Structure 1
Amino acid sequence: MVRIPNEFCNEFDEKGETFFEIAEMLYTHPGRQYTQDELAKKVDRSNTTVSNHTSKMVNEGWLDRHEDQTTFVWNTDAHNPASTEGVTAVKRFYADFWNLLKKHSETAPGTMAIIGFALILSALVIFAFFVGFSLGITRESVIPTTSYFVIAAGSFLAGVIVTFLSPLQAAVNRFVWSIIPADLFQNE
């Protein structure tokens, strides 16, 4: 069960239930931006009430307000839920990691960087097996231990090469797209 930080509760102990309902909603979803209308609907109060409550939280630094869209988000610099909530920490890590993968997999250079990272990561895992088998920490392997080292070294080298090809691919893309006319793929 996620609980709002004690410092927050002590600072605003005279506030009502609606105030803490808004705070809890924002705290349990620290990466999500809520508009004032969304908050008003969720707590079933007027926009004025929500505005009063959120402005107090913004003034004290517990919320971040994005002016361009008037959205509110929990200020993780003041108190990051992931620091005290284990499940939240895991969910936030994988949500951030998934968003990063989605964002970078939309382009060829980003995809190459992801593949390079995966190759380097797998090289580290295989190298750990090599160390385990060569030091006799684990049972004997039917595969010679040098094979693990060769596979790990090859995977690491391939990962580094693919990662360094990513900026080259970006430069090639810039060059190619500057030559191709913009209206080439449009319907007439």
Structure 2
Amino acid sequence: MHDMHVTDSLLDAYEATLEASPVYMRFRGMPVCESMGGRESMMLFSCLDVVSVAAGETIYEVGEVSDQTMRLVIEGRVSVISPSLDTYTELGAGDTFGLFSFLDEDRPHSASLKAISNVTLLTLNRDYFNVITLEDPVMGNHLLRFMFRLLSRMSLKLETEYAAIHNYVTARRV
């Protein structure tokens, strides 16, 4: 019973420290955290590394071998550049990238990513994820659910875009 009190006290202190962190508070406000409780999001955040990228810096190039790192934009803007050097889209707070390369180590990056402004990212490397799933299966499960939420959001976006294109094409009888 005494050990549980110490653990709760430590978790409360850690939570208070995190709540003073602007990066954590931005993370807590992200759509991927909507269905998480405070402790769950706190434990997930503790598994992520904070990385700063300067404006103009390339995060990775199309065709590069994956470093198996998933990234979540906390602050700033990132340009997604196609192999033909066209800007495909821009990512901002709440957007993720690198998830497919994180899941499939043999998959090269399909686009280049470059910081438009100073960017703050939260990152998770596959090797660290593997250690977490072995040493703390509950946390590994939280991380898997987090990734599933990300994949679900991506799938919904693709379905919506497909429906819009389909409606456009069928309305124009192309």
TM-score scaled by length of structure 1: 0.24
Larger Rg: 1
Query: Which has the larger strand fraction?
Result: 2
| Higher relative contact order structure (alpha carbons within 8 Å, sequence separation ≥ 6) | 2
TM-score scaled by length of structure 2: 0.25
Query: Which has the larger helix fraction?
Result: 1
